[in-house]
Each structure stands twice: as structure tokens, then as C-alpha cells.
Amino acid sequence: MVCVKSQLSAHESILMHLAYFDDSGSDKKSAIALFGAVLIKDSWFREIETACGVVLENLIPPEKLDQFEEFHAAELFHGFGVFEGISEETRFRAITSILEQVEHFNAPCVYSAVDKAALRSTALGSANPVDISFRMCALGVEAWLRDHDIANIGLFIVDDTDNKDLKRQLREGFRALRPRLLPPSWRLGRVWCVHDDMYFGSSVDSVGIQMADICNYIIARTIKGADDVAQFYDIIKKFVICSKVEPEWSQHKGVFLEAQITQ
């Protein structure tokens, strides 16, 4: 057996992608449910965290820094919460700087979006669209890791939620795709290139989850046809991957949505 570590250079002896998941549209008013993940190599993280700190320093006046908790996409885009009173130009420059980290590191943005109305008209109409989009996104991340990560290993980190039912569903969805490897069956699941558990993190404490939130917000608005995010989508479009895992993508055509690439 070839040792994976022997294939890596000394400075890349630790090689793992951190998959930061966040959802967009889990509220009842949204027409779509989207789950997306930004994949960040562990060796990139310190530089990305520093870059986001610089963005914050240039965005928030010193007297308001103690009020800042996180880069929340909707608040940053529309200028409310701690970003109230900050000019659109300054806020949009901050969004651009954060998204440029995705571009700089070629960080994949894998997502799955579900049309809620289309889902209701199918035999699966009673299923939770957020759970469906999470499972499809997870499968898309698995496919990317299998094809691009030399160590074939990643870690799922999901934005925590106070919704206990949704959290339970997400845990059950993960375990259905990535069962524990145990005797006597030693059964492998459809998701295998990840650690044996996924973890819930606070977006307040996680720059990775905040980046996922911003990317998902831009992708979701693009899917909805909003033209006010085109400048931002253009930055990340080369790295945006719609999960088209089979057989689900073909079996439920019309339920899943894809962002249209702008030229």
C-alpha cells in the first residue's frame, strides 16, 4: 500500500479540507432552500482569518468594533445591524475583499438548491427541503474530495442552529450518508472521504462559516434572478459547483435549481 503522506511535500504533510456548511432560505418565506459549503484547506486558514480581520478593520469605525460579532451576509449587503450607517460603497468593498479570498485560494463553493414549490408537487412533498439540500450538498462535497484531495479526507463543520428538529434531521442525514464503520457489515456509505462525525460551530466564532454564509447569500440571490449581486457572483463563479449527484439530480429534475453563469 502506498502511504499517502509520502506523496506530499514536507510543508503539506497535513492536508485536509475543512468544509464549512451554511444554509440560506430555511425560513418559511423563502422560495428556495439552499445549503452550501466552502472548502478551505487547513494550511490556508490562518491567512484567510487574517485577511478577514483586515477587512473588518477597514469597515467598522473603531468606536463600533466592540459591537461587531460576525460578517452576516444580509446585514452586510443591506446595511443594517452593526453595519448601519456604513456606506454601500464601503460595505460592498468589504464583500468583494472577502469573496476575493475564495478566488485567491481557488476555494470550491459546493451547493444544492431546492425549489420548495416544485418539491411540494412531488411524491416527496412532505420532506424537508433544507434537509434535502444539505444531503445533496454533502454528496457534492464528497465527490469533490474524492476527485481533488490527495488525502481524500475532509471535515464537515455546520452552522449551528437553535432549531432542534432541523439539527436532528441534519445529524440523521449525515449518518445516513456516512454510517459508522462497524462489524459485522463494515458498510461504507455514499459519503466516505470525511471524518466519522460532523460538527456544529457558531458562526460568531467561525470565519469559515461566515464566508460560507456570504457565498451562499450571493448564490441564492443569483438563482432567484437578482441582478444586484452580479458583480459579486462574477468573482466566485469559477469556483461555484452545483451538486448534480446521480441518481437524484435526474430523478428529481425540476426540484433542484442551478445558478446561471453570467458572461
Over residues 198-229, the pLDDT tens digits come to 999 999 999 999 999 999 999 999 999 999 99
**Percentage of the chain lying above the pLDDT 70 cut:** 93
Q: Which of 159, 115, 112, 106 is nearest to 138 (CA)?
A: 112
Can you give the pLDDT at residue 119?
96
- Compute the distance between CA of residue 209 and CA of residue 205 in angstroms, rounded to an integer: 9
Is the per-residue pLDDT at 122 higher than 60? yes
Can you give the pLDDT at residue 14?
53
Over residues 237-256, the pLDDT tens digits come to 999 999 999 999 999 989 99
- Compute the distance between CA of residue 70 and CA of residue 209 in angstroms, rounded to an integer: 10
- Compute the distance between CA of residue 121 and CA of residue 113 in angstroms, rounded to an integer: 16
DSSP secondary structure letters along 200-253: EE-GGG-HHHHHHHHHHHHHHHHHTT-STTHHHHHHHGGGEEE---TTHHHHTT
Q: Please report, for the chain, the start and end positions of each structural domain, with discontinuous segments joined by +.
A: 17-41+110-257
Only one residue has cell 460576525, namely 70
Can you give the pLDDT at residue 10?
43
- Compute the distance between CA of residue 119 and CA of residue 182 in angstroms, rounded to an integer: 35
